[in-house]
Amino acid sequence: MVRPRRIVLVRHGESKGNADDTVYEREPDHALPLTENGWRQAEETGKHLRELFGQERVSVYVSPYRRTHQTLRAFTLDPQLVRIREEPRLREQDWGNWQEREDVRLQKAYRDAYGHFFYRFAQGESGADVYDRVGAFLESLFRSFEESDHPANVLLVTHGLTMRLFCMRWFHWSVAEFESLSNPGNGEVRVLELGADGKYHLDRPFDSWCEPEPYGTTG
């Protein structure tokens, strides 16, 4: 098995929906493009990634959403050094069809009170559902490490919640730990680096908005 030196997670640049949440009433979530600011964010992230990877090969997995494909395009990675696979399991949490703004805001308030991991949107997914499909993707990723010529780098171009859930699954974080963390900003990067101890280590933590409160046990 050839394990990569690093696994890089990137959240897409600012999308039209990040800038104006009324757009979800008119356009499908998966079809929303980057804003001009989102393109700039992605281009800046691309500069960092080109420096990070140098002339090393990269295995890329990209969410099937328009904004993630555009983010990847803005990185301008050397096509001779990358192999790209669209990966539907890395998509955004499904909300279900078109979204009415006030209803979404109400459901987000419910989610904040109920918990981001367990709350299920009326026509969509819970965080737990996303966790399950990320786990299924990890099984496929591990199998790819059996390739004798696997690249030294893996790059996932995805979404904020998916990034947190990927790390939760990888590092075996508890639900309480996951709930205490904030999403990365648009264009932000997290790197899982293979250490001398044979384990992967996160280059920097996600911002935390509270202390985890694990459930107690009773006899």
Per the listing, tokens 């859930």 go with: 165
169 CB-side CA count, 13 A: 20
Report helix, strand or coil for 9.
strand
Q: Quick one: average pLDDT of 20-37?
A: 94
Instruction: Give the total residue count for the chain.
Output: 219
Nearest CA to 39 among 63, 16, 7?
16
pLDDT digits (tens, 9 = 90+) for 5-20: 999 999 999 999 999 9
Q: Which residues pair with 126 in a beta bridge?
A: 120
Q: Which helix (DSSP H) or strand (DSSP E) does residue 44 occupy?
A: helix 36-53
Share of the chain above pLDDT 70, in %: 97
Instruction: Indicate the pairing of strand 58-62 with strand 200-202.
Output: unpaired
Of the pLDDT bands very low, low, confident and very high (cuts 50, 70, 90), residue 211 is confident
pLDDT at 219 over 50: no
Find where tokens 């004798």 sit: 148
What pLDDT is recorded for position 72? 98
pLDDT above 50: residue 34: yes
pLDDT in tens, 35-63: 999 999 999 999 999 999 999 999 999 99
Query: Which runs of consecutive H residues, i.e. helices, occur in 54-159?
Result: 66-75, 101-114, 127-144
Place 96 in a pLDDT band, splitting at 50, 70 and 90: confident
Active site residues: 12, 92
Q: Where are the domains of the chain?
A: 6-202
d(CA 18, CA 33): 10
pLDDT of 216 over the 60 cut: no
- Assign 117 a pLDDT band (cuts: 50, 70, 90): very high
Residue 214: is its pLDDT beyond 80? no
- pLDDT category at 215 given cuts 50, 70, 90 is low
Burial degree of 181 (CB within 10 A; 0-12, 13-18, 19+): buried
Q: Is 202 helix (H, G, I), strand (E, B) or coil?
A: strand
pLDDT of residue 99: 80
What confidence score (pLDDT) does residue 100 get?
83
Question: How does the average pLDDT of the chain come out, rounded?
Answer: 94
- Tell me the per-residue pLDDT of 120-143, one tens digit each, with 9 for 90 and over: 988 899 999 999 999 999 999 999
Reported in sequence order, the residue ranges of 26-74 that DSSP labels E, i.e. its strands, are: 58-62
CATH topology of domain 6-202: Rossmann fold (3.40.50)
